[in-house]
Amino acid sequence: MLSLIETLTGFAAIMMMLSLLVKTLTSVIKNQWDYYSDNLKHEVQRLALETTGKSWETLVQNPTAPDWVRSIDWERLGDEFLTPAYMSWFLKQLDQNARVSDIDSRLKIHVASVKYTFEMRMKNLALAVGLALCLLLNINAFTIWKSLYTDQQLRATFSSSYAEKATRLAEEQANQKDADAKLKNFQTSMRGFLTDVGFGIGRIWQANPPSDNADPKQRAPIRVFVYEFFGSLLTGILVSIAAPYWHDLLQALASLRPDKAKT
């Protein structure tokens, strides 16, 4: 029972560390491409169409439209832009006949749409980053689990000191805001991860991938490829769940260990 708990703890620690790396890389990518402002612009243009009956291009090209409408910097705008008072004024500037009587209820729908679309895009981005990272580096959850379960020393290391290391990194990331610092932290943490978890990474890139199966038929390249591919695919899905879930699981498992349990 103890070996299973330690295996689960070590596995959760590795998945948590990898999730944090995916989260950091996703954040770096998000800072390079402003997804939120795109969603905001789209919803404002939809609202303009609903209230005026005219497309955004038609409204902007109207000679009576203010000049500043044509040069809006959407990247500098946030939720504070989507208030009933401001949007009523904004739409009236575009078209004096804009129907703004029910602007409050309309705005609630569009604000919710902006947030939902942004959250979904971030989840999809995190999933794509997780899958790409795990498939490219061949990080195999099956191999990691098997190695932890069969190696007592490895299991003890990852269920104790490595779990504490992952927890500390999570706390550090929570207080980290600077984009350059995040990128530097990702590079350092990624190198450390590749070194620490080398037993479950990159087997498919080896000329003769190791196999624990004594049957030569099981060592065929196609079988090795399928095993490594689906193992990496599973890892990508697992780490995309997000680090907080692995953190909670890690804390719960740690409390079950005899040396951590309260008497």
Domain limits, the chain:
2-34+119-254, 35-117
pTM, two decimals, is 0.73
pLDDT at 65: 86
Residue 215 has pLDDT above 60, yes or no: no
- Angle (deg, nearest 10), helices 2-32 and 161-174: 30
Mean pLDDT score, 215-231: 76
Give residue 211's pLDDT: 53
Q: What is the pLDDT of residues 137-151, one digit of tens each?
A: 999 999 999 999 999
What's the average model confidence in pLDDT over 235-257? 80
How would you label 41-66 residue by residue, b for 16+ Cβ within 10 Å and e otherwise? Answer: bbbbeebbeebbebebeebbeeeeee
Residue 201 has pLDDT above 90, yes or no: no
The confidence score (pLDDT) of residue 232 equals: 93
Q: Are 142 and 231 in contact (CB under 8 A)?
A: yes
Summarised one tens digit per residue, pLDDT across range 22-38 is 988 888 888 777 778 88
Place 250 in a pLDDT band, splitting at 50, 70 and 90: confident
Please check the confidence at residue 233 and state whether its pLDDT lies above 90: yes
Task: Note the pLDDT of residue 263.
Answer: 42
Whether residue 179 is predicted with pLDDT greater than 70 in this model: the reply is no
Compute the mean pLDDT over every residue in the chain, rounded to the nearest whole number: 83
At 14, is the pLDDT very low, low, confident or very high (cuts 50, 70, 90)? Answer: very high
Tens of pLDDT, residue by residue over 36-87, are: 888 888 999 999 999 999 999 999 888 888 888 888 888 888 777 888 999 9
Q: Which of 202, 189, 259 lies closest to 23, judged by CA?
A: 189
pLDDT in tens, 181-200: 777 777 888 888 888 888 88
Q: Encode burial over 102-137: b for 16+ CB neighbours within 10 A, e otherwise.
A: ebeebbeebeeebeebbeebbeebbbebbbebbbeb
Give the pLDDT confidence score for residue 88 in this predicted structure: 92
pLDDT at 219: 56
Predicted confidence (pLDDT) at residue 6 exceeds the cutoff of 70: yes
